[in-house]
Amino acid sequence: MSNTPGSRVALVTGGSGGIGQSVVERLVADGFAVAVHYAGNKQKAQTLVEKVTTSGGQAIAVGGDVADENAMASAFDAVEQAFGGVDVVVNTAGIMILSTVAELDLADLDRMHRTNIRGSFVVSQQAAKRVRSGGAIINFSTSQTRMQHPTYAPYAASKAAVEVLTLVLARELRGKDITVNAVAPGPTATALFLEGKDQATIDRLAGLAPLERLGTPEDVAETVAHLAGPARWINGQTIFPNGGIA
């Protein structure tokens, strides 16, 4: 598959997930050729690619553990081979395990750190070397870094590390015309978020924001699209698409 002259290219890690899929669809609508990254669910990523290509867009699927630097180097290689380069990297890949600090299984902490911190670092490292001038690197944090809800400490701590990594990288890429930002969503109605929650819990969480609803994956994708495209003067920032919750 060759890249259409003039179109921009995006790699979306975790692109087969709830927010990731919405990001892919929004970037395709904005004219991007998109690489849909998956860690375990190749079929889901391939189904999304087929949906994009059937509608006239350009997409490929690339796999690999985001914390494995060799796998990610190969994924970036595949994107460059298919489309000629990389302009935008959106790193939505992450895992969330909830527990109080006192009761956390430290193996779960290590697992989260591997994907959320090391994975973000590996993807950012590749992106810093590969993204073309005029491009954007967009990592994912969470509004829980500001909300301090019980049981979120391990997850929020891993995402706070992602924020710091992101904001420092923005300064390190001085002179390259590449923006680096973090997106930190609030409660968002994905299948993963809704799983295991009763209606009363969902209603309570929806009522936290002044706009009195949960966010949608499309709300988050709107923020990503802005940072990936026209928002060239937003750099080294953490953006909170959360309806005013924090």
* Amino acid (1-letter code) at residue 92: T
Tens digit of each residue's pLDDT (9 = 90 or more) over 129-142: 999 999 999 999 99
Q: Name 215's Cβ contacts closer than 8 Å, sequence gap at least 6.
A: 185, 186, 187, 188, 189, 209, 241, 242, 243
Q: Whose CA is closest to 87, among 30, 39, 18?
A: 30
The strand pairing partners of 91, in sequence order, are 13, 139
* 2 band by pLDDT with thresholds 50, 70 and 90: very low
Evaluate if residue 1 carries a pLDDT over 70: no
- Report the 10 Å Cβ neighbour count for 191: 9
Q: Mapped to the 3 state alphabet, what secondary structure does the chain carry?
A: CCCCCCCCEEEEECCCCHHHHHHHHHHHHCCCEEEEEECCCHHHHHHHHHHHHHCCCCEEEEECCCCCHHHHHHHHHHHHHHHCCEEEEEECCCCCCCCCCCCCCHHHHHHHHHHHHHHHHHHHHHHHHHEEEEEEEEEECCCHHHHCCCCCHHHHHHHHHHHHHHHHHHHHCCCCCCEEEEECCCCECCHHHHCCCCHHHHHHHHCCCCCCCCECHHHHHHHHHHHHCCCCCCCCCEECCCCCCC
Is 27's pLDDT higher than 60? yes
The pLDDT > 90 percentage for the chain reads 90
Catalytically active residues are: 155
Residue 4, pLDDT > 80, answer no
Residues 172-190 have pLDDT tens digits of: 999 999 999 999 999 999 8
pTM of the model: 0.95
Please give the pLDDT value at position 173: 98
Mean pLDDT on 238-243: 97
Q: What is the pLDDT of residue 6?
A: 56
Give me 56's structure tokens: 């006239």
Q: Report residue 246's pLDDT band, with 50, 70 and 90 as the boundaries.
A: confident
Cα–Cα nearest to 190, from 138, 140, 227: 140
**Could you read off the pLDDT of 92-101 as tens digits, one per residue?**
999 999 999 9
Catalogue all structural domains in the chain, each as residue range(s) with its CATH number: 9-185+218-239 (3.40.50.720)
